Every structure is written in structure tokens, then in C-alpha cells.
Amino acid sequence: MDLIETRLGEYAGEIQSRKEYLWEARRDMDHIEKIAVRQTIEQTLDSAEVLKSQRKKLAKLMRSPYFGRFDFLKQDETTAGPVYIGVHHFRDERARETLVYDWRAPIASMFYDYETGPARYQAPSGEIEGELTLKRQFRIRDGELEFVIESGVHIVDDVLQEELSRASSDEGMKHIVATIQRDQNAIIRNDDAHTLIIQGVAGSGKTSIALHRIAYLLYRFKDTLSSNHILIVSPNRVFADYIGNVLPELGEEQVAEIGMEDLAAELLDHQYRFQTFFEQTSQLLEKNDGALRERIAEKSRPEFLHQIDRYVSHLEKESFQPVDWRTGRKIVPDWFFAETWQKHRGVALTERIARMVKATESQIGFHYNYDLRVDERQDLREAVRGMVRKQTLRQAYQGLFEWLGRPELFRATSGKLEYADVFPLIYLKMRLEGVKNPRPDVKHLLIDEMQDYTPVQYVVLDRLFACRKTVLGDASQSVNPYSSSSAEQISRHLHAATRVKLTKSYRSTWEIMQFALAIAPNPELEAMKRHGEPPRVVACSRPMQMIGHIADEIQAAQDAGHHHLAIIAKTQRQANRLHKSLSDAGIEARLLDAGSAGFFSGVVVCTPHLAKGLEFDRVIVADASARHYHTEMDRNLLYVACTRAMHHLVVLHVGKASEFIPA
């Protein structure tokens, strides 16, 4: 570290000296010499940045150099060598010896996959076999050893239990390299699957695993893949901020993220106003609108894609009426125009007409050995335009439902499209005109909350991004069952998809998870047996009594040293009212809504929709009464709300409790 500080000081002096020289001798230097001095300064700055990165990494290593060790006896050798595993790699350059291996290194996989006994790993030179003779796990914080465990059993489980019982941090999601489980490790290190679909139950760590998988792929393919090549499709800005610290903690640069609505706006060139997914969900929850549910469900069916495809074929036949064209004695038959028009399907109209004119000119030149004059070329262009029946993309899309005999399925309010229409419109545009990919450099796409996207959305994403993908979510946590997708359904619409499952839930205590499973049973979910207080269901006679209970719970959370408490109301309107009531009572809390851009510590008021993907030390479900939670959609929301809690869950209700709440 001292050597780095010395070298950084030398670099700083060198840069300052060259800048002074550049200024003092600016009148005497020619252009080439000035460029050479500037390049030298830039190269020195680059070298300094590399050293700063090394200094930052060394500082982290000094606080916590490693978390695991195993002794590996290679086959046909007599001495077992110790292998230390840490978040970052560290090598003694003088001794030419690696002291700590990065958790992503091939040899490190044995720490996660094997106990003491026979073991193997896949090295660049081939498979290496041998035996683990010792395995230990450490916790080192700020340079001090807090504990060490030595065992022949899967010791990661012991450390995991202890880690999960701790209060959450103030910084959002953290890396989990010290507690990665065997099934999770297999998903992280899967570099064969073109598209990996992860169906993970609530609390299975699927988002964290997906981010660690990205970090692994950046390490594994460092020569061809960088953070600039990764794009995350995230459900909202709060979630994006919540997960934003994981990759930097693992030594990787932050990657770009985009919401589905932002991507849609880019693909539609910001020419259309449309409802967001959040607004659609709020509308479903606040209005008993059967027609809206039907419109959403119809456009979420896989068959709707085929209907659009057939409609495009119909439009192709109807939108172009070829006729013979002649100039002097030279004739271009109608069939040539028809064939050429079909050949350039999926191209924007202006470009398609230009290609038609160019192809016709070539045809005349080939058959008649004649070059069209300027006036003839203009006449040809006008003739081709006259063969085209023009209509806007919006008119074509609205015509789809008239062609289907279901005009009632299209509804726009004040010119604003419903969310269910946005991606079908984009798909129609792809088929009729083509779309320009706004992110052509993406080599790996990560899609979270997969259950909230429809077949049309997946087909659009697959056509737009032909790259590798990691797709994750949980079918049980859909906040809109009328447009939800399962892992099996998604795999039909993505190229070369491989499905995996994560069935063990780690987030919540055993008692909280059993309570949640009574709301929405899932026979595949295996709850980790980390015990805590049973969830409490509290009946309130009036809303102000509920506010009093919330105040008591907030005080209890502070006394217990819990950093994150969520008060979850079913709809945004209810959350807004609850936040105001808390504020009027002098209780400080932050309100999360569609415009929130960050994840906050402390007390937050939010909906299950915005809480999805997040976790909290304590959760209070506000007013889970029968009048608020009574539909299957409500059941899903209640399940999502309860499974956000890590250690403590309280369910309050004013009046009769929802039938979904277990006795």
C-alpha cells in the first residue's frame, strides 16, 4: 500500500510538471509536440487510475482478505496446498504466488461444491482431481477475525444461518459470496446456456444470484465482455437503486439498467403516450372493470402473437396494389412490383419505396440496357407511391381489432394507449417497418420479475436482443395475474432457453414462511429452518387504533436495531392516505410511489407492487381486511407483502380480516 501511495505521488508530480511545461512553452511548441505532451499526460492519468483501483481493492482486502480456505491434495501428489478464497484476487508478484483466489476462479468452485473428501474442478488445462483434506470458513471484519469454523459438513449453511439472522444493512442488497449454496453456484457458473430462465421462490436469492452470475461472466469472459455490454431490465427505479451496490462490491463496474416503459418509448421514438405497468396495476386494483381485465388477458395470450402475424400478411396483400408501369416502349409488369414489395418486408415505408425504385431501375437497365432520365425516375417514384395504401402505425394497430371482429378490445383515453397495447404495437411496427435497436452493443440481457411480462414482450425482446440472456422471477409473485407468464411459457418465446429452479427460501424465518404459504400454498417451496417470532395478526376497531399499533411497531424496530421497516398498503391510493395519517400523527416515514428514484433505509410506506424484490427486517401489512383482500389478485399481493419480511411480521386489519389470513 505504501508503494502505491508513493507511486501515486510521483504520478501527480509528473502530471503537474508536464501541465506547467505545456503552459509555459505553449508559444514555442509546434502542433505535433503539443499532441505528444497531452498524450503523455493522458497515459500517466490512465496509469494513476489503475493504481487507484488497485489501492481500493487492497483496502478492501486489508479489511477482509478472505472468507474461506480449503487444503487440496491433487491426485498423484503427496502434499496438500492451502487455497484461500476471497472477494478479490491477490498475488505476491515477488514470490510469484497467488495468496488469495477470486471467488469466481475455477479452483474456488470446490469451496461451494464439495465437503472434505474427493473433489475436482475444471481448470483451463482440463479437469483436476484430488481430495479436500480440510475446509474452513472465516469472518474477518475491519482486519479482525470474528470467527472461524472447521468442519467436514457443509459449513456454508452454518454461516448462512448466522448471516440471515442479522439485521439488514443500510446500503441495499449485499453480495453473498461467502454463503453461496451448491445449487446457486451451479447457476452462477453456468456459461453454456444461451438463455437461462431462473424460476425462484420468494426469498431464494434469485436476483442476487443473477447479479453474481453477471459478475462471474464478466470474470470468465473478460476479454470479450465488459460492463458496457450488460443491460438489466428492472421493474422500477427503487429496485434498480436497491441492487445497484452489488456489482461494485464485487469489483465490477455498475451496468446499465432500463425499465420496460423506457425501452418502449425508445422503440416508438417517443411518439406515443401510454399508460405504465404501475398505472395499469393500480387501475385493476382500484376499479372493478371486467372489460379492462378482458382486454389485458386477450393481449397476453400466446395466440395474440399469431393473430398479429396473420394480420400483417393481410395488410401486405391489402396495402399494395401493383400495376404495370411504362416509359416509352419499356414496360415493368405488375408482378415484378408485387415480388419486389414482398422482398423488402419489415422495412420502413420511405426506405421500402426507395428500394423499390432502385430495383426497378436495375431491372430496366438489365432488360432494356437503358438508364432512366431524371424526369422518368421521378415519374417511377410517384407511380410506386401511388401503388401504396398509406396508413399510420396507430391506424394499422386499431385496424387489427376491427379485422379480428373485436373492436372493443382497443381503447385509448385522451390519446393515451393502455399498457397492454404498447408492446403489441411495437411488435406490429417490427413486422411492418422494422425498428432500430437503441442498444446495439448489448451482449447479455438480464430480465428481472419475468412473471410480469407477456409473450409479446418476450418476442420483442428476443428479436431486439439476439444475445445471451438471464431471465428470473417467480410465477407466485405476479401482481397482475391477467398478464403473467410462467417459466415454461417464457421458454417457448426465447431462443435456446434452459430452465432451472431455486426452491429453497432463505429470506424469512420458518414461522413467517409458513404463514405466507398458508396464504398462497406452494408445494415446491422449502423454507429454511431459521426460527423467530410467529407473525402476529392484530384486529383494530378503527383506523386510528391501527396507526397506534404501527407507532408501537416502529418503536420496537428501533429498539431491536432493525434498519428497515416497511408498512405495506394494497394500493397506492391507500398508501398515500396511510402516509398522511402517519405524518399527521407525528410519525416519520418515507412514501414510495411510481416516481421514487431510490431505496431508503428507515421506515417506508409502499405497495406490494413496489416492495417486490426488496426485503425488510420488519413488515407491517396495513389493513388486510376482507374488503381490501378478497380476489385471487389480492391473494398474490398479500403473499408478496408477507414474504418481504426477514425477521418480524405483523398483519393489521380494521374490521373483518381477509379470508386469506391464516387463523
- Encode 577-603 in three state secondary structure: HHHHHHHHCCCCCEECCCCCCCCCCEE
Query: Which residue is it, cell 514555442?
Result: 28
Higher pLDDT, 219 or 59: 219
In angstroms, the Cα distances linking 495 to 116, 308, 461, 485 are: 40, 20, 11, 16
Reply yes or no on whether the pLDDT at 64 is more than 80.
yes
In tens, the pLDDT along 232-258 reads 999 888 989 899 889 988 888 889 999
What is the pLDDT, as a whole number, of residue 155?
47
In tens, the pLDDT along 114-130 reads 999 999 999 988 999 99
Closest CA to 183 of 168, 170, 201: 201
What is the pLDDT, as a whole number, of residue 443?
97
Is the separation of the CB atoms in 264 and 427 below 8 Å? no
Q: Provide the mean pLDDT of the chain.
A: 89
Q: For residue 510, is it left (φ>0), alpha (ψ between -120 and 50) or beta?
A: alpha
CA dihedral 306, 312, 318, 321 (to 10 degrees): -140
b/e code 410-442 from CB counts within 10 Å (16+ = b): beeeeeebbbbbbbbbbbbbbbbbebeeeeeeb
Reply yes or no on whether the pLDDT at 21 is more than 70.
no
Tally of CB atoms within 10 A around 506: 23
Cα maximum dimension of the chain? 95
What is the pLDDT, as a whole number, of residue 131?
94
Rounded distance, CA 450 to CA 454, Å?
A: 9
Residues 251, 257, 260: CA angle, nearest 5 degrees: 155
At CB < 8 A and 24+ separation, what contacts does 388-396 make? 388/319, 388/320, 388/349, 388/353, 389/318, 389/319, 389/320, 389/321, 390/349, 391/319, 393/425, 393/428, 393/429, 393/432, 393/433, 394/272, 394/425, 396/315, 396/428, 396/432
Residue percentage of the chain with pLDDT more than 90: 60
Angle between helices 260-267 and 419-432 (to 10 degrees): 40
**SS (HEC) of 178-245:** CCCCHHHHHHHCCCCCCEEEEEECCCCCHHHHHHHHHHHHHHHCCCCCCHHHEEEECCCHHHHHHHCC
Q: Helix, strand or coil for residue 285?
A: helix
In tens, the pLDDT along 179-196 reads 898 999 999 999 999 999
Binned at pLDDT 50, 70 and 90, residue 208 comes out as very high
What is the pLDDT, as a whole number, of residue 168?
66
What is the pLDDT, as a whole number, of residue 305?
95
- Sort strands 195-200 and 416-417 into parallel, antiparallel or unpaired: unpaired
Query: Which residue is it, cell 428476443?
Result: 462
Cell matching residue 190:
453456468
Rounded distance, CA 305 to CA 427, Å?
A: 9
This prediction has a pTM of 0.85
What is the pLDDT, as a whole number, of residue 493?
93
What is the pLDDT, as a whole number, of residue 44?
75
Binned at pLDDT 50, 70 and 90, residue 211 comes out as very high
Q: Helix, strand or coil for residue 517?
A: helix
Residue percentage of the chain with pLDDT more than 70: 94
Cα 473 to the center of its chain, rounded Å? 10
Is the separation of the CB atoms in 143 and 127 below 8 Å? no
Highest mean pLDDT (candidates 72-81, 335-344, 453-462, 473-482): 453-462
**SS (HEC) of 366-433:** HHHCCCCCHHHHHHHHHHHHHHECCCCHHHHHHHHHHHCCCHHHCCEECCEECHHHHHHHHHHHHHHC
Cell matching residue 374:
431524371
Strands of 433-563, DSSP E: 444-447, 468-473, 497-502, 504-505, 526-527, 536-540
Kindly give, in sequence order, each residue whose CB lies less than 8 Å from that of residue 531, ignoring residues fewer than 6 positions away: 509, 510, 511
What is the pLDDT, as a whole number, of residue 364?
87
